[in-house]
Amino acid sequence: EVQLVESGGGLVQPGGSLRLSCAASGFTFSSYWMTWVRHAPGKGLEWVANIKEGGSEKFYVDSVKGRFTISRDNAKNSLFLQMDSLRADDTAVYYCARAEIFASLDYWGQGILVIVSS
């Protein structure tokens, strides 16, 4: 059974940092692109970042470029999102998701809440 479990969320002050983790199981993690998607309160879904299988190719939505860094450890079946210079509008539930056929996101974690507030 495919499972994705996020951790590392919480309350952080504006300008602060947080590192999210996503533990994957039930599939060959190193064979898949992985993504982070967020859902801000009262808003729709927003793709945040993607990393290809080997970890060398990474892509970001413009609003997080230079502040967020996606990475992965294929030996530990883990995905990460380092979030620096956090702003109030980064407040959201963050999901990790697996990219499958035609880049659809077929499995999602349960989500982890990040609140940026003073």
Which residues are near another protein by CB under 8 A? 35, 37, 39, 44-47, 50, 57, 59, 61, 95, 100-106, 108-111
The CB-of-25 to another protein minimum distance in angstroms stands at 16
Whole-number Å distance between alpha carbons of 117 and 115: 6
Q: Are 18 and 83 in contact (CB under 8 A)?
A: yes
Specify the residue, 45 or 88, whose C-beta has the smaller distance to another protein: 45
The CB-of-99 to another protein minimum distance in angstroms stands at 8
- Structure-token pair, residue 61: 């939505």
- Structure-token pair, residue 82: 């380092």
Whole-number Å distance between alpha carbons of 30 and 105: 16
The CB-of-55 to another protein minimum distance in angstroms stands at 14
Specify the residue, 15 or 45, whose C-beta has the smaller distance to another protein: 45
Specify the residue, 17 or 45, whose C-beta has the smaller distance to another protein: 45
The CB-of-72 to another protein minimum distance in angstroms stands at 16
Instruction: Decide: residue 38, CB within 10 A, 0-12 exposed, 13-18 middle, 19+ buried.
Output: buried
